[in-house]
């Protein structure tokens, strides 16, 4: 089954609770993002692209998996736009579809080391798997 | 003072000492932690999506249980605290979520956010008081230079967590002073350690945790303290620069002279 990318601005804004039109394009969210260099689209681009309805590239991006959910962009946005909520909504729009889990239980055993806390596994499943 | 205590999955397994020292130290300070019956894992991360309901119900159950027991709910792990406090906020302020959650669970008495969520550190600061702790210290950790690593989850988003100033917190530094040691400030103390990224992009987790530890080393800390098992893992295992990382409750127990008898 292939990924359905027909999702509009309104749906993502409703799920995330974000109003993209509040953004003043200052770029502070991307400047503070600790995963900036590991992202193909940056937090401020999520805001601009969702506003335009250009959502398909975001659904196929590396950024939705590399966001650390650190809430730095949420805390530091001067306009309360809270870009990480868009990243989360789009990530969920992907993993909620059949066959789109980003992490499978079978992959876990080879990643384990004796120190890894359970918390890491449950958190990763929440982010990467329906 | 008595709390309904929510330990969470990792404090029962890999991070047992974080919890054991906390319970023992609380006793010395006149605080009782009674574990919530049949608690379930919080899931580790809170989803900001408004239509995400089922994954938040374990938090609602724990909260309703605390309410029924007549206490505030106490957390210790930073991740549990973030998830449960934010779900409680939803139960208070988001009518759609509250209705759906109550419909799902069909409890005897609906839950509307009545319990307060209190982190162990907030209890130390606001209920016991750092001055009072200072008086109970029998083994001050004089001369130790300690970097307080806050990370993300205790502080952000500040308007929900209301834990401390999210950009310039001081609760852990006050704690360090109360146990007789010297706090060391470092730039990366409230930047992400890499979190769960260790299972998706190990290099990114290594880069983040190394940046945090390097920042502490530059400022001459001789160890780091944290309240989060995943932060501890990243800073200890994933960081290429090495510095001891200790749970803050272990130092509290040491200062109170009960480290050996937990
Ligand atoms: S929450 Fe995600 S997008 Fe926002 S600053 Fe953190 S890593 Fe970047
Ligand atoms: S920080 Fe806020 S206002 Fe500035 S670009 Fe990012 S989303 Fe827009």
pLDDT digits (tens, 9 = 90+) for B56-74: 999 999 999 999 999 999 9
> Which pLDDT belongs to residue B180?
98
Segments making up each domain of chain B, as ranges: 2-120, 136-255
Q: Would you call A126 and B192 a contact, using CB atoms and an 8 Å cutoff? A: no
Indicate if the pLDDT at residue B177 is higher than 60: yes
* Model pLDDT for residues B209-225, shown as the tens digit of each residue: 999 999 999 999 999 99
Residue B138 CA to residue A74 CA, distance in Å, equals: 42
- Chain B partners within 8 Å of A88 (Cβ): 47-49
Contacts of A77 (CB under 8 A, 6+ apart): A28, A29, A83
Please, what is the angle between helix B16-28 and helix B248-255, to 10°?
Answer: 40
Distance CA A94, CA A130 (A): 9
- Give pTM, 2 decimals: 0.96
Mean pLDDT value across residues B177-192: 98
Helix axes B95-105 and B78-93, enclosed angle (nearest 10): 100
H-helix or E-strand containing B224?
strand B223-226
Q: pLDDT over 70 for what percent of chain B?
A: 99
Q: Measure Cα distances from B240 to A38, A64, A65, B47, B209 in Å.
A: 19, 26, 23, 31, 8
**Token digits of residue B178:** 């109360």
pLDDT value of position B106: 84
For chain A, give percent helix, strand, coil, nearest 5: 55, 0, 45
Topology classification of domain B2-120: Glutathione S-transferase Yfyf (Class Pi); Chain A, domain 2 (1.20.1050)
Closest partner CB to A127 (pick from B155, B157, B196) = B196
Q: Count other Cβ atoms within 10 Å, centred on residue B180.
A: 16
Beta-bridge mates of residue A55: none
For B:22-41, CB contacts with A below 8 A are: 41
Confidence of residue B171 (pLDDT cuts 50, 70, 90): very high
Amino acid B107: pLDDT: 81
| pLDDT at residue B108, as a whole number | 84
User: Looking at the partner chain, which of A71, A84, A111 has a beta carbon nearest the beta carbon of B199?
Assistant: A111
pLDDT at A1: 64
> Which segments of chain A have a pLDDT < 50?
none
Nearest to B209 by CA among A27, A110, A70, A107: A70
List, for residues B107-155, the tens digit of each pLDDT value. 888 999 999 999 999 999 999 999 999 999 999 999 999 999 999 999 9
- Which residue has the CA at smallest separation from atom 6 of ligand 1? A70
B254 vs A119 pLDDT, higher one:
B254
Is the domain B136-255 a CATH 3.40.50.1860 member? yes
- Residue showing tokens 């949420």: A74
Give burial (CB, 10 Å; 0-12/13-18/19+) of B228.
buried
Instruction: State whether A74 and B55 contact (CB < 8 Å).
Output: no
* Nearest Cα residue to B117 out of B92, B93, B85: B85
What is the pairing mode between strands B32-35 and B245-247? unpaired
- Pairs of CB atoms within 8 A across A/B: 134
> What band does B182 get if pLDDT is binned at 50, 70 and 90?
very high
Determine which residue's CA is closest to atom 2 belonging to ligand 1.
A67
**φ, ψ dihedrals at B246, nearest 5°:** -130, 145
ipTM for the assembly: 0.94
Tokens of B28: 């010395």
In this structure, are residues B79 and B18 in contact, taking their beta carbons and an 8 Å threshold? no
- Can you give the pLDDT at residue B262? 45
- Ligand 1 binding pocket, CB closer than 6 Å: A 32-35, 43, 67-73, 83-84, 87
d(CA A7, CA A95): 14
pLDDT of res. B261? 54
What does chain B come to in residues? 262
- Which CATH topology does A9-127 take? Fumarate Reductase Iron-sulfur Protein; Chain B, domain 2 (1.10.1060)
Q: Which residue of B has its CA nearest to A113?
A: B237
């Amino acid at each position: 089954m292939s990924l359905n990318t027909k999702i509009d601005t309104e749906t993502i804004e409703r799920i995330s609770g974000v109003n993209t039109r509040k953004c003043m394009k200052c770029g502070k969210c991307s400047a503070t993002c600790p995963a900036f260099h590991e992202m193909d689209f940056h937090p401020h681009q999520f805001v601009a692209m969702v506003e335009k309805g250009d959502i398909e590239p975001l659904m196929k991006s590396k950024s939705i998996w590399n966001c650390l959910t650190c809430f730095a962009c949420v805390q530091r946005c001067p306009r309360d736009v809270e870009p990480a909520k868009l990243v989360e909504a789009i990530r969920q729009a992907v993993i909620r579809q059949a066959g789109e889990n980003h992490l499978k239980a079978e992959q876990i055993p080879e990643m384990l080391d004796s120190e890894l806390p359970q918390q890491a596994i449950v958190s990763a499943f929440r982010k990467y798997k329906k | 003072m008595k709390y309904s205590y929510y330990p969470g999955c990792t404090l029962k397994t890999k991070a047992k000492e974080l919890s054991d020292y906390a319970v023992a130290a609380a006793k010395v300070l006149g605080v009782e932690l009674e574990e919530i019956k049949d608690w379930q894992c919080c899931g580790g991360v809170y989803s900001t999506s408004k239509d995400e309901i089922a994954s938040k119900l374990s938090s609602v159950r724990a909260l309703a249980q605390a309410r029924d027991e007549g206490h505030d709910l106490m957390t210790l792990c930073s991740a549990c605290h973030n998830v449960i406090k934010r779900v409680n906020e939803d139960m208070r302020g988001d009518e759609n979520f509250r209705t759906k959650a109550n419909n799902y669970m069909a409890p005897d008495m609906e839950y509307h956010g009545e319990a307060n969520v209190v982190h162990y550190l907030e209890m130390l600061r606001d209920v016991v008081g750092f001055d009072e702790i200072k008086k109970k210290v029998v083994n001050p950790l004089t001369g130790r230079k300690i970097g307080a690593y806050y990370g993300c989850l205790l502080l952000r988003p500040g308007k929900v967590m209301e834990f401390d100033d999210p950009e310039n917190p001081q609760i852990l530094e006050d704690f360090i002073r109360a146990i007789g040691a010297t706090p060391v400030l470092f730039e990366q103390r409230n930047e992400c350690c890499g979190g769960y990224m260790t299972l998706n992009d190990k290099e990114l987790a290594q880069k983040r945790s190394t940046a945090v530890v390097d920042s502490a080393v530059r400022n001459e800390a001789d160890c780091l303290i944290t309240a989060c098992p995943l932060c501890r893992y990243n800073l200890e295992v994933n960081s290429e620069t090495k510095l001891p990382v200790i749970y803050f409750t272990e130092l509290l127990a040491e200062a109170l002279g009960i480290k050996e008898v937990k």
